Every structure is written in structure tokens, then in C-alpha cells.
Amino acid sequence: MTFDRLLNALAAWILALVWVLPLAYAVWTAFHPAAYEARFELFAPLTLENFVKAWDAAPFARYFLNTFILVTMVLAGQFFLCTLAAFSFARFDFPGRNILFALVLLQLLVMPDILMVENYQTMRLLDLVDSIPAIALPYVASGFGIFLLRQTFMTVPKELDEAARIEGASFLTILWKVYIPLAKPTYLAYGLVSVSHHWNNFLWPLIVTNSVETRPVTVGLSVFSAVDSGVEWSVINAATLMTSGPLLLAFLLFQRQFVQSFMRAGIK
Amino acid sequence: MHRPSFRFQGLSGRFPGDIDIFRTTDISVMRGSKFRREWITGWLLLLPALVFLFAFTHIPAVTTILNSFFSTPRGRRPAKFVGLDNYEQMIGDPVFWKVLWNNLWFALGTIPVSVALAIVMALWVNEKLAGRSFVRMAYFTPTVLPLIAVANIWLFFYTPGFGLFDQITGFLLGWPATNYLGNPDSALNAIIVVTVWKEAGFFMIFYLAALQSIPVTLKEAAQIEGAGRWTVFRRITFPLLMPTTLFVCVNAVINSFRLVDHIFILTDGGPDNASALLLFYIYEVAFRFWETAYGATLTVALLVLLSLLALGQFFFFDRKVHYR
Amino acid sequence: MLKSFFLKAVAATALSFSTWASAQAVDLQFYFPVAVGGKAADTIQGLTDEYVAKNPDVTIDAVYAGSYQDTVAKAITASRGGNPPQLSVILAVDMFTLIDEDLIIPFDDYLSTDEDRKWVDGFYPAFMENSQTGGKTYGIPFQRSTPVLYWNKEAFKAAGLDPEVAPATWDEMVEFGKKLTMKDASGNVTQWGVRIPSSGFPYWLFQGLAIENGAILANAEGNKTNFDDPKVVEALDYMVDLSTEYEIMAPGIIEWGATPKAFFEGQTAMMWTTTGNLTNVRENAPFEFGVAMLPEKVQRGAPTGGGNFYLFKGASDEQAKAAVKFVQWITAPEQSAKWTIATGYVAPRPETWETDTMKAYAADFPQALVARDQLEFAKAELSTYQNQRITGIFNDALDAAITGKKDAATALKEAQAKADEILAEYR
């Protein structure tokens, strides 16, 4: 039994070391001169020059702010729109419901990523090209979000709902007081998926933005990936750390609270 | 638990012939005048989301399908109707079949492995473990590092000669330099490894959440009865994780057709399309070759494929998942 | 009373006129790619700002648009969406594609004076091959490059070679390569003789070999390729043999982005790569290095590479004129010298090399002159209608041969057949 435990712990640790390797490498190269990108000597000189270089190469503070605004905007939009739609699907009966639901689910598959040319034209029409809303809009109504919330809302006991209705509560009050609190873990789970996706998204923002004021971090980072002259790992990794640092730090600091609140009920 | 069913409920407010694939709750077997108000409220709640969905998904998707029946408009030649020509071209296009095959292999290589790893990771981190916070943080790192940036790091790992993997295998095992990305037999697998790394850590979080919600008493009771750890997992934990598995699998399937950012940096689809995936090829055709009509045709193929998969998946899971 | 009213009116008119005038400042949007790291973007931005400061009647919005691929994608997407930039730096080889898409206009319409025409003739002819077609000038060379051979002088010395002499012929490259390829006790290679990267766009460096062997990959009209020319097959056989027969180059597809690092790390004694790498190698190579022209077979030769300025359709007359003026300014000797020194790109006009700045630079860093001298032998980079698609097909064929999945002759024959099918409608 204890041997078994030891073996498990060992495996867990090995896997953890493998998983943290890219981050470890990023830290190594970011703090050492470029000459040590492929040499791992214990006493290699430390330097902060890569950060200075990366910082000078692009306005990362601004990119970071843009990403932050973008992610917040997408998330707020998704929560709002998906909640209303999911509530409608879960608790209201109206003609066309199943067809509409199937149409919503279609968006699970037809990811906006595929429809770039068409969507660019729409943004042009709305005069939104080169703005953060332009990056966000195609994603705010998410089929995935609606599906997920609907599944959760349907697990809410009917009795709760009916009791509230008999007391004369409006359906919005019921949504706000009964459904949303019970769906917290789903919001958290979905929020994580969404943030992680838009934090990483690259292609669409690249196409639809033109200026420093609107570009997210990923597009900013791609400056260093354009390689006629070879990859400068030390600088690109310094830039990666600068931009991912805050998120990583937040996770480290709040990981207990985060994981725990996240785990309270899981996804049903 | 609901089986997928095809119901005719002519008078209960549904329309005859509506296909009820998913579970619906019947709170609203309601009477008389309440009907219309209920309808309107339902529609109104739906309206904002639908506006966006139609504007950015359905209408563009329909245009895409229409475009697949036309030739690519070039500046000097407008599009003209060509019927099924684009589809004929697709069927005769060896690259299409190659990337399709690649994509299936990619899905097969990433989904089960990343889901299984995610479960294992979650089980480990959920138990008492020395340095658990570090291990948890390690598993979580892929989520905060953007794929486009991380791809460069993996590029270094894979580099023959002075790359990290070669330094390790060369030092420990005396292996010669291995060209992981530049060999058509290993390029796609190298891409799969990066994807699994990215995904498993992410999915682990969801399993961890689900595990914490399983009452410890259940497990203890089973252990008292002498059940081994494997039995406990197979009989109790795993079935209770099923809803999470559904959630994660849907994500994994979508991602296996969507995650292409790292390909741009690692192999650019090469050598000779050995590591190109369907969406990557669509991007290539539509945004590099500017064959937008053919790109639209490929997109339609991707949609059909995804629909089939999704349908299969929902049918499969609908029978297995216990929603409470 | 009347007078003051009159004065006020005049003042008001003048004021509104001046605001009107400044509102009439020509707005230009200009996309540029960056292919050589962060510094290039700064330099372009800096030059643009300098120009705008000197010319208050123009505002220029310089947009970094990603890699070359990203930039052309962005320009075409934006044009199709009805929002083209007025000016963009895009690969010279995309000229036919942009014409085919009807997105660009020739510069000729805005180059009316004799002086202007002389200006166009002032670029290196090798660069203009990719910039003109049908008697019109569609591209103005800007960030142009050409591949050269870099060698590690210390490695040469260690192998008993003269550190000051680079291989001048294919045979010499093999001969030197064999001496330079080092193995450790267990037979693993620790240093390769030469490295010709082949990831992403293998056609470019391969084209160097093809030209050296006397082959031209595509005609000047951009509607016919010669992929299955026996000279091309021979060149590809040579490239494959470097790994398989002579064993002086690593097998498989060789990553472009990691190539300079491999050179710095002593993994390879020679490398073929762009002049765009000069600054990088100069700053980071921990040893003495030399730069040479690519070795010859029947002749010296190299493709040109890099990006041109294009003028986009949809620009108003004023915008187009302002854009042309800006292009003339930024390619003028002083600006061009700054750009070349910052990046390593080849200054596209001979007169730039005559500036004091450039002379001082070349005296300090004579390697920079190699690219210029090689231009005499350089030919147009492979460029056709549907360019990305045709080069894509060609790249796949090269990949297949390099990885040993097909023999050179078969792979190239198949590629030629596919290319013919696509280009037929342009003949």
C-alpha cells in the first residue's frame, strides 16, 4: 500500500516536472544571456536585459490591458446572453424551440474561427474594424455556453421554481435568485474555458486589428515569431513571461481559493 | 436519463415532427391564455443571443455553403456558378484526404490521451501528496501560456542537435540527433504531444472539481468492504465523473479540429503536409492560396464531419451519463 | 464697428480655412511585415514618424501586420472588406497574385517626370525583375534580401582548412563539408559540414542551387514553371545527396528558425541563410565568421527575396501621390542606409552604398558587401500567378524528395503537372 503510494507520488512528480518544463525553460532563457539558450550551466550569468529588449520591442503593458479588456468583454457578454438564452430553453415552452436549440448547437461546430472572411466583412459594415469589440463580438453568443447553462438550469428542481412562481416572483427574479446561484460552478467552469480560449486566441485578432490600441498579447508576441533571422528564444520567452506572469502569479496566490470554490460542486 | 427520441406531440405545444434530440423538461404543460405570454417571454429571452448567433455564425455559414457552389472571384473575374465542381476537386485532391486522415489520427491521438492523463492528474492532485501545490501548479501551466508563444519553446525542445530532447537523449542514452519535426513519420506525433500537454493540464481542472464533489464516505464504505483502489475507481469514481467526461470530451473534440496555432510555428504543415490538419489546410487554401471557394468547400466538409461526430457523441453519452 | 466685424470675419474665415486645411491632410495607412525581429518594426516606425514630422500635410498610420504571410492575408482581407491600405510592403513574389486579385495599381501613373523615371531605373535590376511585368512597375524594392553562405572560421581552422576561403563550387562545398563534419566516439555527428534549412519555404534556398545549375524556375510572365527541367532535378539530387550520399548535412527537413542558433552553437560549420541575418550573426556569433557568395555549379547565382512597396487600388489621387512621395523618401540613400544597417537587408539602390554612412559601415563590416556583389548574379525569386499555391506545390515536392519519400525526378514531374494545370488559364 505505501509502496503503491510512493510509486504514485513519484509518477505524479515526474509528470509535473515534464509539464512544467516549458515554463522552466522560459524562465531559464529569460533570465540568461542568449548564449545560454541551449546551454544549461548552473553558474551562467543572470541578466534582465531580455526583459528590457522585449519591453522596448513592443508596448506590452498596453497589449496586456487590451487582452484584459477583451477577455472581460467576451466573458460579460457571454454570461449575459447565454444565461438568458439558456433560461429560455430550459424553462419556457414555445414553438420553434427545438429547431432554435439545434441552431444554437450548430455553433458548437461552426466555430467563428472558420468564418473569418465573412466576419471581417460584417465588421467593416458595422465600422468596427480595428476595435476590441470587433474581436469579441463573434464570440459573445456562445452555443457552448448556452448548452452548458441549459443543462445546469434543467437540474434545478422544479419545485423550487414553482414555489417562487406561486409567491408571485417574476421570472427574472427567479432567474437571479434561484437559477444563477445554483449554477455558479458552471459559470466558473465555463468562464475558465472562455478566458483560456480568448487569452490564447491569435488568428482572428490578427486579422481584425491594426493598431497598438487594440491588439491583444498574442498578436504582440508574434512579432518575435516572425523569423527570417532565427528565433530569439531569450527575448520571446521574456515577453511570454511578462505577459503570462500576472495570470500565473494570480493562480499561485489564489490557487487554494480558486480551486476550492471551483470544486464546490463540479459540473453537473 | 433520457434516450434520444423522436416524439410527436401534436397538441402539447410542440410542433409535430420536431426532433427532440436532447432532454427537455416539461414544466410548462400549461393551460390556455398563459401559452402566448410564455411564448413571447421565451422568444424575448432568446432574442439577444440569437441576433449575435445569426449575425456571426449562421448567416456567414450559409454564405460559405453558397460560395462552395461558385468559383473563386478574382479581381478580374467575378464568381460564377459551377455546381459541384469544387466538390469534385476536393474528392480528387490528395492533400485533402491526407489532412483528413491526419486530423482523424490527431483526434485519436489527442482526445483519449489527454482525457486519460487529465483524470490521472486530477486523482493524484486530489490525494495527499508531498508538494501538492507545486504539482498542481505544474499541471496548470499550459493554461496560462499562450499556444503561439509556447510553440516556440517546443520548437527548441524538438530541435535536432542542441534541442532539449536531443541533449537529454544524447547525454543519457547516447542517441544521435533526432529530427522530430523534419521527418514526415514523426512530425504529426510531435504536434500531438504539444497538444496533449496543452489540453491535459486544462482538463485536469474540471476533473479535480468533479472529484471534490464525490463524497468521501462513498469511497470509504467501498474500501471497508475490501474494494481495491482500481475497483473503487472503476465502480464509483469513474461513473460519477461521467458528466465531466462529457463536458471535457466535447471540448476535446472541438479542439482537435480547432487547435492549429502551434502548427504555424512548429512545422507549417510540413514536411509535405505530413502535419497539416483540416483547419490549417482551410486557412492555407483560403488565406494563402486565396481559393476562397475551395476553402468554403473544405469548410463544408469539416462541418459535415463535425456534425457526424457530434451526433454520435451525444447519442453515445446520452445513454451513459447520469444527470442528477 | 464695421471694421472690427470685418476683421473678425476674416479671422474666422482664416481660422476655419486653416482647420479645413489641416483636416485635408492626406491620411495614409501603410502595412508592413517584420521578418527580422523586433528592431525592424521600430526602425520603420521611426522613419515614418520622421517623415510625418517633416511633412505635416501627411499623416501616416504605419501598421505592423505580422509576418509576410500575415501581411498579405491582412491586405487582401481588408481589401475584400472594402478597406484597403494605401500602401503595403508585401513579398515581391506576391505581385502576380495581387494583380490577379486586382488590388494594386502600377506606380507608373504617378511617376510622370523624367526625374521619377530615372528614380525607378536607379534600383538594382535583379530586384526589379520581381517588381515589373508587362512593362509596368508594380513594386518598389524595400526590404530585399538574398541568401549567402556564412562560415565559421574557427571550425575551418580546426578542420585544417584555410579559414579565409569559402567553398566556391559545389564540389568544394562537399569536399570542405566532409572535412568539417565531426563525429564523436560513438559515431554521432557533433558538427555538420553545411546547413541549408528547408522548413516552411524550402524553394527559396533551393532556387539558389537551381540558378547555379543554370535553371530558371519560372518565366517572366509568371504563367509557366520549369520544375521538371533536368537541371532542376540535378540540383535537387545534389541537395538530397548532401545528406544521404556525402553525409555532410543533417537529414530530413531542417528548421529555418533554429539555423542561426545551430551555427552559433557549432552544430554546423557553414550555413545558407538570408542577408537579413547579418546583424544577428554579427551580434551573436561567438567566433570569427565569414560571408561568401553561394558556390557555383555552372555559374554563380542566388534568388532575390524580401518585400516591395505596393500601391493599393482605392487610394485617392492625393493619397497615391503622397504615398509615392513617401516611398521615394524612405528608399532614398540616407533612410535606406539606416534601414540596411539596422536590419542587414540589402540596400536596393547603388547610390545608397555611396553614402558616407554606408561606406563607414562597409569598412567596419566588409561582409555586408558580399550580398551587394552577389546581386550581379542574382535572378528573380520564383513568382507566378497563384504564387502561394504554386510555390506550395513546389515546396511539397522538395519536402518529399528531401525526406526520401519520392525521388527528385518523380516529385518534380508531379509538381510540374499540377502547376501546369493551374497556370493553364493564365497563358
Q: Where in chain C is the domain with CATH 3.40.190.10?
A: 25-144+305-372, 147-303+386-426
Tell me the C-alpha distance between C315 and C322, whole Å. 10
Could you tell me which chain B residue has the CA closest to the CA of C386?
B289
Chain position carrying cell 485578432:
A205
Q: Which residues contact A132 (CB under 8 A, 6 or more apart)?
A: A66, A69, A70, A73, A214
Chain position carrying cell 439577444:
B48
- Mean pLDDT, range A177-206, rounded to an integer: 83
State whether C267 and B162 contact (CB < 8 Å): yes
pLDDT at B6 over 60: no
Touching check for B315 and chain C: CB below 8 Å?
A: no
Tell me the C-alpha distance between C426 and B299, whole Å. 27
Chains with 3 or more CB pairs under 8 A to chain B: A, C
Grid cell, residue C391, equals 510555390
Q: Are A208 and A113 in contact (CB under 8 A)?
A: no
Q: Are C294 and C208 in contact (CB under 8 A)?
A: yes
Ordered structural domains, chain A, with CATH: 48-263 (1.10.3720.10)
Q: Which residues contact C63 (CB under 8 A, 6 or more apart)?
A: A210, A211, C29, C30, C31, C32, C85
Identify from B19, B56, B315 which residue to disrupt to test chain A contact, counting A C-beta atoms within 10 A and taking the largest count: B56
pLDDT at B274 over 60: yes
- Alpha-carbon separation of residue B99 from B255, B284, B293, C51 (angstroms): 16, 12, 18, 48
Q: In percent, how much of chain B has pLDDT > 70? A: 85
Task: State the DSSP H helix or E strand holding residue B19, giving kind and residue range, or none if neither.
Answer: strand B19-20
Interface of B with C in 226-285 (CB under 8 A): 267-268, 270-273, 284
- Mean pLDDT, range B161-172, rounded to an integer: 87
Q: Which amino acid is at B35?
A: F
State whether C41 and A57 contact (CB < 8 Å): yes
Angstroms from B255 CA to nearest CA on chain A: 10
**Domain C25-144+305-372: which CATH class?**
alpha beta
Give the lowest-confidence range in A18-32, B138-152, C91-105: B138-152
- Alpha-carbon separation of residue C17 from B95, B181, C318 (angstroms): 61, 63, 19
What is the structure's pLDDT at C9? 55
Of B88, A218, B63, A110, which is closest to residue C80 (Cα–Cα)? B63
Q: Which amino acid is at C34?
A: V
Among partner residues A19, A247, A266, which is closest to B201 by beta-carbon distance?
A: A19
Tens of pLDDT, residues A172-183 = 888 888 899 888
What is the structure's pLDDT at B13? 33
Tens of pLDDT, residues A85-142 = 999 999 888 888 888 988 888 787 677 877 777 787 788 788 888 899 999 999 999 8
Tens of pLDDT, residues A10-36 = 999 999 999 999 999 999 999 998 888
> What's the per-residue H, E or C state across chain C?
CHHHHHHHHHHHHHHHHHHHHHHCCEEEEEEECCCECHHHHHHHHHHHHHHHHHCCCEEEEEEECCCHHHHHHHHHHHHHCCCCCCEEEEEHHHHHHHHHCCCEECHHHHCCCHHHHHHHHCCCHHHHCCCEECCEECEEEEEEECEEEEEEHHHHHHCCCCCCCCCCEHHHHHHHHHHHCEECCCCCEEEEEEECCCCCCHHHHHHHHHHHCCCCCECCCCCCECCCCHHHHHHHHHHHHHHHCCCCCCCCCCCCCCHHHHHHCCCEEEEEEEHHHHHHHHHHCCCCEEEECCCECCCCCEECEEEEEEEECCCCHHHHHHHHHHHHHHCCHHHHHHHHHHHCCECCCHHHHHCHHHHHHHHHCCCHHHHHHHHHHEECCCCCCCHHHHHHHHHHHHHHHHCCCCCHHHHHHHHHHHHHHHHHHHC
Query: What rounded mean pLDDT belongs to chain C?
Result: 88
Q: Which residues contact C373 (CB under 8 A, 6 or more apart)?
A: C293
Chain C residues touching residue A117 (CB < 8 angstroms): 77, 80
What is the structure's pLDDT at A228? 67
Tell me the C-alpha distance between A191 and A139, whole Å. 13
Task: State the DSSP H helix or E strand holding residue B5, giving kind and residue range, or none if neither.
Answer: strand B5-6
Chain position carrying cell 533526432:
B178
CATH annotation of C147-303+386-426:
3.40.190.10
Chain C residues touching residue B98 (CB < 8 angstroms): none
The pTM score is 0.84
Q: How confident is the model at residue C51 (pLDDT cuts 50, 70, 90)?
A: very high
Chain B residues touching residue C267 (CB < 8 angstroms): 161-162
Q: Which amino acid is at C367?
A: Q
Angstroms from C30 CA to nearest CA on chain B: 20
Count helices and strands (H / E) in chain A: 14, 0
Angstroms from C147 CA to nearest CA on chain A: 11
Chain A residues touching residue C35 (CB < 8 angstroms): 226-229
The 10 Å Cβ neighbour count of residue A37 is: 22
Q: Determine whether C221 is exposed, middle or buried from the number of CB atoms within 10 Å of its CB (0-12, 13-18, 19+).
A: middle
State whether B155 and C102 contact (CB < 8 Å): no
Ordered structural domains, chain B, with CATH: 5-67 (no CATH), 87-320 (1.10.3720.10)
Touching check for A15 and chain B: CB below 8 Å?
A: yes
pLDDT at A52 over 60: yes
Q: Which of B142-151, B306-315, C395-404 has the highest mean pLDDT?
A: C395-404
Give the lowest-confidence range in B281-295, C129-143, C355-369: B281-295
